[in-house]
């Protein structure tokens, strides 16, 4: 059975790129554009990994990660955070919220797949 990955990304091009690359590598992928439905979708889809954009409209990816880590059903699912805002201290703040992995955008395919595979 293919590993399941939930991709939470509001940017259409980034979401399509992440999903296309993952599907091509044999993963079952569930794309989510709206962070407000991400946790409910995660509970339904039961992913092996969540790829989480940090800058989402309506809700922060940091808040979603922290909420996942407080949820008994979701807390053990690893999170790979991706963000275009990779400033000083951001990685520590994102890991502090509970993300096990971190990538700055723009994301290159090689490091992206390496991060995904290391978390699975």
| Spatial contact of 78 and 102, defined as CB atoms under 8 Å apart | no
Does residue 93 lie in a domain region? no
What CATH number is associated with residue 26?
Answer: 3.40.50.2300
Distance of CA 118 to the CA centre of its chain: 14
Q: Indicate the average pLDDT of the chain.
A: 95
Q: For residue 21, which of 120, 116, 99, 118 has the smallest C-alpha distance?
A: 116
Nearest to 22 by CA among 120, 116, 111, 119: 116
If one counts the domains in the chain, the total is 1
Is the confidence at residue 27, as pLDDT, over 80?
Answer: yes
Given a contact cutoff of 8 angstroms between Cβ atoms, the answer to whether 25 and 1 are in contact is no
**Which domain does 62 fall in, by range?**
10-48+58-86
Cα–Cα distance between 46 and 40 in angstroms, integer? 10
73 pLDDT band (50/70/90 cuts)?
very high
DSSP 58: S
Helices and strands (H, E) in the chain, number of each type = 5, 5
Residue 30 lies in a domain: yes
Residue 67 is assigned to a structural domain of this protein: yes
What pTM was computed for the model? 0.96
Is residue 86 predicted with pLDDT exceeding 80? no
- Alpha-carbon gap, residue 89 to 68, rounded angstroms: 22
């Amino acid at each position: 059975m293919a590993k399941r990955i939930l991709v939470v990304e509001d940017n259409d091009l980034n979401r399509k790129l992440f999903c296309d690359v993952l599907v091509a590598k044999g993963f079952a992928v569930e794309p989510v554009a709206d962070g407000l439905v991400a946790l409910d979708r995660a509970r339904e889809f039961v992913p092996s990994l969540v790829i989480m954009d940090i800058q989402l409209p309506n809700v922060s990816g940091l808040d979603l990660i922290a909420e996942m880590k407080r949820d008994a059903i979701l807390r053990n699912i690893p999170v790979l955070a991706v963000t275009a805002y990779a400033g000083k201290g951001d990685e520590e703040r994102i890991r502090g919220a509970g993300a096990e992995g971190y990538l700055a955008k723009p994301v290159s395919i090689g490091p992206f797949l390496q991060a995904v595979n290391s978390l699975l």
